[in-house]
């Protein structure tokens, strides 16, 4: 294991504000259109279920993005330029960055994640695995202000934002997230980003309704988590996973639908649900290549290059700030 005092591994704690699950959930569930923020999917069980989703036959985004990066790695490296400072907001398990590291040889890799222990574990693993790599982990919330812990003048900064996580933000919010990343990489910096594409709704509906039921469990795990952490009494049998592609809005919508009139308590708060009333849990926006390029331009980026797979399922773009 790499020692945290060694030069190659450094850890910077920006002490992100940890959201208050209780007040967020009660506020969301009491709204006119009840919702739970998708950021609460990712407790330990949810993160494991998400991995299962990514490996499922129906969920094409992960394997397609990986194959786009593998098939175009030389081209990608040429665009990004060797010796960059590679920054990954919301780095999670850092699985995809492994595809880039050997070819790109960045001067340092800066994973940013809100989950301190998970980030430390993953960052130390990478520093052990890639014996030449400087890993400077930053504990911060990437949806807030993004500030690097030190100043690098001479190197180009490149952010890596894979997985179409940008799709989980409504377009106006997505522009704000892109703007924040643009400020962080600064003049001359860039962003390598994965974006899921609009396509036949059968493929999309299947991807969010896998036969093994991982997405259903992932969705319902929100209620399991709320029951456990907030002493609530959601009956999992009385809520149904419902995910569909909204063709007018170009987005997957995930809901939990109440199967009957019912009452749920969270601690001392009582919530009422009518039969068929839904709790919105996630949007996953899908873009056309042009549509995403316009969004990126609205955030002030220029499109340097875009790559897609042969079936046009998914896209990877390199955007620059100059
Ligand atoms: C993390 N995010 C990009 C996934 C998506 O496809 O929107 C989350 C997910 N929700 C259900 N399946 C996967």
What average pLDDT does range 224-248 have in this prediction?
97
Please list every protein residue whose CB sits less than 6 Å from any atom of ligand 1. 53, 163-165, 167-168, 208, 215, 282, 284
| Whole-angstrom distance, CA of residue 192 vs CA of residue 285 | 18
Give the distance (Å) from ligand 1 centre to CA of residue 49.
11
Chain segment 138-152, per-residue pLDDT in tens: 999 888 888 888 877
First to last CA, the chain: 40
Atom 2 (ligand 1) nearest CA:
165
Give the whole-number percent of the chain exceeding pLDDT 90: 87
Categorize the per-residue pLDDT at 4 as very low, low, confident or very high, splitting at 50, 70 and 90.
very low
Q: What is the pLDDT of residue 29?
A: 97
Give the distance (Å) from ligand 1 centre to CA of residue 164.
8
Atom 7 (ligand 1) nearest CA:
284
Chain segment 249-259, per-residue pLDDT in tens: 999 999 999 99
Of residues 149 and 190, more confidently modeled? 190
- Its pTM stands at 0.95
Instruction: Name the residue with tokens 């036949």.
Output: 200
Atom 5 (ligand 1) nearest CA:
284
């Amino acid at each position: 294991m790499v020692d945290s005092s060694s030069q190659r591994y450094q850890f910077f704690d920006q002490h992100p504000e940890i959201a208050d699950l209780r007040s967020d959930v009660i506020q969301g569930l009491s709204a006119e259109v009840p919702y739970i923020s998708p950021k609460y999917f990712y407790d330990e069980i949810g993160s494991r279920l998400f991995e299962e989703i990514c490996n499922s036959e129906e969920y094409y985004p992960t394997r397609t993005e990986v194959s786009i990066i593998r098939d175009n790695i030389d081209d990608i490296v040429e665009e990004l330029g060797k010796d960059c400072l590679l920054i990954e907001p919301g780095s999670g398990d850092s699985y995809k960055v492994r595809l880039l590291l050997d070819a790109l040889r960045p001067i340092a890799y800066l994973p940013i994640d809100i989950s301190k222990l998970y980030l430390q574990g993953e960052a130390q693993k990478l520093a052990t695995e890639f014996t030449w790599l400087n890993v400077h982990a930053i504990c911060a919330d990437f949806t807030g202000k993004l500030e690097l812990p030190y100043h690098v003048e001479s190197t180009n900064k490149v952010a890596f934002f894979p997985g179409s996580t940008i799709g989980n933000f409504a377009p106006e919010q997505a522009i704000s997230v892109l703007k924040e990343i643009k400020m962080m990489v600064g003049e001359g910096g860039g962003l390598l980003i994965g974006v899921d594409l609009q396509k036949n709704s059968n493929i999309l509906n299947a991807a969010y309704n896998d036969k093994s039921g991982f997405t259903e469990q992932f969705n319902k795990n929100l209620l399991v988590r709320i029951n456990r952490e907030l002493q609530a009494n959601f009956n999992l049998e009385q809520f149904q996973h419902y995910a569909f592609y909204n063709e007018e809005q170009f987005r997957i919508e995930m809901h939990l639908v109440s199967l009957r009139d019912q009452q749920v308590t969270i601690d001392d708060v009582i919530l009422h649900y009518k039969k068929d009333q839904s709790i919105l849990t996630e949007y996953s926006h899908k873009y056309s290549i042009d549509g995403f390029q316009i969004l990126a331009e609205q955030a002030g980026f220029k499109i340097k290059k875009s790559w897609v797979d042969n079936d046009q399922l998914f896209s990877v773009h390199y955007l620059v700030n100059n």
